[in-house]
Amino acid sequence: MSYSYTDLLALLGIGGAHPGGLALTRAIFEELQISEDTCILEVGCGTGQTTGFIISNYPCSLHAIDAHPTMIQKATKRLNQHKYPVTILEANVEKIPYKAQMFDIVLSESVTVFTNINKTIPEYYRVLRNGGSLILIEMTEIHPFDENEKKELIQFYGIKQLLNEQQWEEQFRSAGFQEIQTIHVSEEHFVNLEEDFSEFDMSEDIEPKLFNKLENHEALTLKYKEKLGFRVFICKKN
Ligand SMILES: C[S@@+](CC[C@H](N)C(=O)[O-])C[C@H]1O[C@@H](n2cnc3c(N)ncnc32)[C@H](O)[C@@H]1O
């Protein structure tokens, strides 16, 4: 059996599988106005670390979706343990199973890059209320990759595209978002702060070759550390 990068994250049960980890999520949420009436959709929730953080700190209405069954199983286990009132669904963000204009915030932490953005970003726009915000932390090309390098990354991570900052912004604009704020964050800053970054909920009977994949990921991160980064985007639907 061959494993995808997402299988690796799911089987190891990695919590906070986005750059900056929970520390960055916390910093973003400190800037938001959230009340009991706020309705949030977290897409690609993974094992639910952020989901648990939001619901235990902000008494809002929270929904989380992910396409990977193992992620859903681990997120459900985590959130059930605390009896948090969160709706968790196995679903594809390219076809979000919610009606239009339901959410004040849609949150994507290292998810959208794995999807067909021509479908996903319009879906985010559809389910957001007017005045709502799409918040993303996404892998971003910082310095240009050549075609072979790009191919290597796309193949390894199973991402659908590698975009630079301007290309991301164009995608948001063409889906209808009018105000786009792009934030440059130093990952080192958040990694140094991050006490929860290395959280694991490992599945049983993990094949040793899965750890080779983890090593490959670490090697790629090192190889492209000058060229590959991430951005935080906050896109408003007016
Ligand atoms: C890098 S992980 C990030 C997980 C989580 N947001 C976090 O920060 O820990 C990417 C997640 O996106 C999910 N994902 C990828 N494509 C998806 C899709 N089309 N629909 C729903 N979830 C998807 C994967 O299953 C995985 O859980």
- Which residues are CB-contacts of 151 (< 8 A; sequence separation ≥ 6)? none
Residue 145 in contact with residue 220, Cβ under 8 Å? no
Residue 197: the pLDDT is: 53
Pocket around ligand 1 at a 6 A CB cut-off = 6, 9, 16-18, 44-46, 49, 65-68, 71, 92-94, 109-111, 114-115
Confidence of residue 59 (pLDDT cuts 50, 70, 90): confident
User: What are the backbone dihedrals phi and psi of residue 180, each rounded to the nearest 5 degrees, phi first?
Assistant: -125, 125
CA of 102 to the centre of ligand 1 (A): 21
pLDDT exceeds 80 at position 135: yes
CA of 111 to the centre of ligand 1 (A): 5
CA of 11 to the centre of ligand 1 (A): 13
Q: How many CB atoms lie within 10 A of CB 20?
A: 26
110: closest CA among 77, 139, 89, 67?
139
Confidence of residue 228 (pLDDT cuts 50, 70, 90): very high
- Euclidean distance between CA atoms 154 and 173, whole angstroms: 24
Residue 1: the pLDDT is: 72
Residue 129 in contact with residue 156, Cβ under 8 Å? no
Alpha-carbon distances, residue 36 vs 33, 105, 111, 222 (angstroms): 10, 13, 26, 42
- Euclidean distance between CA atoms 56 and 98, whole angstroms: 23
Q: Which atom of ligand 1 is nearest to the CA of 10?
A: 27
Q: What is the average per-residue pLDDT within 211-234?
A: 93
Q: Which atom of ligand 1 is nearest to the CA of 93?
A: 20
74: closest CA among 14, 3, 4?
14
Residue 51 in contact with residue 79, Cβ under 8 Å? yes
Query: In this structure, which topology does domain 5-236 adopt according to CATH?
Result: Rossmann fold (3.40.50)
Residue 21: which H helix or E strand, with range? helix 21-30
Confidence of residue 192 (pLDDT cuts 50, 70, 90): low
What 8-state DSSP symbol labels residue 146? P
